[in-house]
A = this chain, B = another copy of it.
Amino acid sequence: MKLRLVLVEVEGAVNLGFIARLVENFDVDEFYLVNPKASLDEARRYAARASHRLENAVITGSLRNALEGATLRACTSAHYSRGRDMLRVAMSPWEFAKRAVGEELVALVMGRESTGLRRDELSECDVLVTIPASEKYRALNLSNATAILLYEIYKYKIIKAGWSPRMPPDRHRVELLLKYASHIASIVAGDRAYDAVRALRNLVSRAGASAEEVDSLLFLFSRIARRLGGPWKK
């Protein structure tokens, strides 16, 4: 899936700069600006190491041009309807992300800070996406809303690609750790030995222990076993 981020008449230079940085953070493929009102020069100060994303942005005069070629066009708004307004029947960011990953080219359209997207703009899109937020204050800052939506899409992409923050442990190392634990428990824990070892297995499994976490505990337990002595069978 390719992703095109489209900002319609973005007004704030801080937001524009922050969003250019997000475009780089989340590997967005195409970055379009429809009639930007903010100064691109000023925005550069807020883009940190992603100011080239501003220089390479495609600037267009109309939303229609910015949507060309997209196979799924998603508009966004804090205002959605659970009632009669068909243009404002919305989907959640996670529903959208799951749908989007299968598409060829997704256009994600973010509106003005002040007034969002007009109804004629909403009608150019296939779906409306809304971010759930407190009824006390539903409207998110533009760059924060963009961050959340880009994150959701990026997340589904990398989960599909098998990303994990931790290196999973070798199955045999986990079993060896539990064998050491059994050995130690049989010496010191009497009839509560089984429970203690099972508790350790539960924690390792439920926490999704990393390879190095398992190895660190394995080292500790092997040292304990050596101190305690007793008949060790591997």
A interface vs B, CB < 8 Å? 14, 18, 21-22, 24-27, 46, 48-50, 80-84, 86, 89-95, 130-134, 136-141, 143-145, 147-148, 151, 154-155, 158, 163-167, 208, 210, 212-213, 216
Q: Which residue of B lies closest to A84 (CB)?
A: B212
- Pick 7 A–B contacts, CB within 8 A, sort by A: A21-B137, A21-B141, A24-B134, A80-B165, A89-B212, A132-B154, A143-B143
Number of copies of this chain in the oligomer?
Answer: 2
Q: Which residues of B contact A22 (CB under 8 A)?
A: 140-141, 144
CA gap between A46 and B151 in the complex, in Å: 23
Residues of B within 8 A of A155 (CB): 94, 132
Residue in B14, B18, B80, B165 whose CB lies within 8 Å of A90 = B165
Q: Known interface pairs A134-B26, A147-B140, A148-B151. Does A212 touch B86 (Cβ–Cβ under 8 Å)? A: yes
Q: Are B132 and A49 in contact (CB under 8 A)?
A: no
Closest residue to A21 on the B side, CB-wise? B141
Pick the residue among B132, B141, B210 that contacts A18 (CB under 8 A).
B141
Q: Are A131 and B144 interface neighbours, CB within 8 A?
A: no
